[in-house]
Amino acid sequence: MANLKRWVLRRRPQGEIRPGDLELVEEPIRDLADGEVLVRTLYLSLDPTNRIWMSDQDQYMPPVQIGETMRGGSLGVVERSRSDRFQQGDVVNTGLGGWSTHVFANGAFLMPAPKLPGVPLTAYMSVLGATGLTAWFGMCDIGRPQPGETVVVSAAAGAVGSIAGQIARLKGARVIGIAGGKAKCDWLTGELGFDGAIDYKSEDVGAALDRLCPNGVDVNFENVGGAIMDAVVSRMNNFGRMPLCGMISTYNDESRPAGPTDFVRVLMHRLTIRGFIITDFLPRAGEAMAELIPWVTSGELKWKVHVDQGLDGAMDSLQRLFTGNHDGKLLIQVSPEP
């Protein structure tokens, strides 16, 4: 059997991730203990939160320690098993299996991947995985869009944003997406049915919001932070809701980013801002799946995945998150599907 390869955190990045911050190491595959399974990684999820986990800033999980395998969600196939729950060939969700070609896992903690006719395995790493759950709980539990309300989604062509915006549309809201580049904006208004899109790379976001949201903004699904967040918050209506999902524009900054410039608006317009992490909602995943699965199987909810090939290129692939050089959910195919 081939050796195991894994990316190890060697030092905490200062600003942007650079060569030497992580190292790809190779080692023999050890024997299994009782109850363990060996999982060959099929797909690895790349997410903005990877950058947070590399730092030692205050965060919602313990940071990855120096010398540890880089953390990341993955889907894989069982190659060997000493667990009563799984046998060779079973496809499983490893949770945070990590940036590794193989994962050793206690069979008691693994979840079998769902099997839906006509639904590819990549869906379970995107629209029917943590990505879809994040979009659903952020929009439905915190945003709560009502028919006729105006919803703005930043990073709207990204993995979570594209699904969150469609969910708001399915709930009857007007949806305006903010994305980078004409092709992404055309995808939002064309295939996904958004009511409008703003290309932050080529137009003034504030002026575009005034044009597309003449009655203000009721829900801001926030993925970006910074100046784009400021532009939306300063146009939010009384009792507006802001699910705070991410602030990717600030993740490479060395200092803590400031909050909304017009913070007094939170008081005067009685806004609700709630940060959320999907792990808080996992016990209620069934509620989201009850809506997500029918939407996906009926074709009402569309999604994209951008799949790079090979674990060796993970560092280069991760940069796509910060340059926007991908559409939808960013994955690495580590090995062939069974």
- CB contact set of 261 (below 8 Å; sequence gap of 6+): 230, 234
Window from 69-83, 97-111, 244-258, 322-336 with minimum mean pLDDT:
244-258
State whether residue 270 is helix, strand or coil: coil
Does the pLDDT at position 50 exceed 70?
yes
Residue with tokens 């009685």, as numbered in its chain: 270
Share of the chain above pLDDT 90, in %: 78
pLDDT tens for residues 236-285? Answer: 999 999 999 988 766 666 667 778 889 999 999 999 999 999 999 999 99
Rg (CA), the chain: 20
- Neighbouring C-alpha atoms within 13 Å toward the C-beta of 330: 24
pLDDT at position 332 over 90: yes
CB–CB of 25/5 below 8 Å? yes
- Listed in order, strand segments (DSSP E) in 217-301 are 217-221, 236-244, 272-275
Return the higher-pLDDT residue of 242 and 60. 242
Q: Residue 246 has what pLDDT?
A: 86
- Identify the CATH assignment for 130-280 out of 3.40.50.1000, 1.10.1740.10, 3.60.20.10, 3.40.50.720: 3.40.50.720
Domain with CATH 3.90.180.10 in the chain: 4-126+303-333
Structure tokens at 132: 């879809």
**Nearest Cα residue to 291 out of 123, 120, 114, 167:** 167
pLDDT at residue 247, rounded to an integer: 83
Predicted local distance difference test score (pLDDT) of residue 16: 86
CATH architecture, domain 4-126+303-333: Alpha-Beta Complex (3.90)
150-160 per-position pLDDT tens digit: 999 999 999 99
| Exposure string for 98-127, b = 16+ CB within 10 A, e = fewer | bbbbbbbbebeebeebeeeeeeebbbbbbb
**Nearest alpha carbon to residue 122 among 329, 287, 335, 320:** 329
pTM above 0.95, yes or no: no
Task: Report CA torsion sign: 154, 155, 159, 165.
Answer: positive
Percentage of the chain beyond pLDDT 70 is 98
**CA distances (Å), origin 21, targets 7, 24, 90:** 10, 10, 34
Distances (CA, A) of 251 to 68, 84, 227, 287: 21, 42, 14, 31
Q: Where in the chain is the domain with CATH 3.40.50.720?
A: 130-280
With residue 296 as reference, give the H or E element that holds it: helix 285-298
Q: How many helices (H) and strands (E) does the chain have?
A: 9, 15
Chain CA centroid to CA 20, Å: 25
174, pLDDT greater than 70: yes
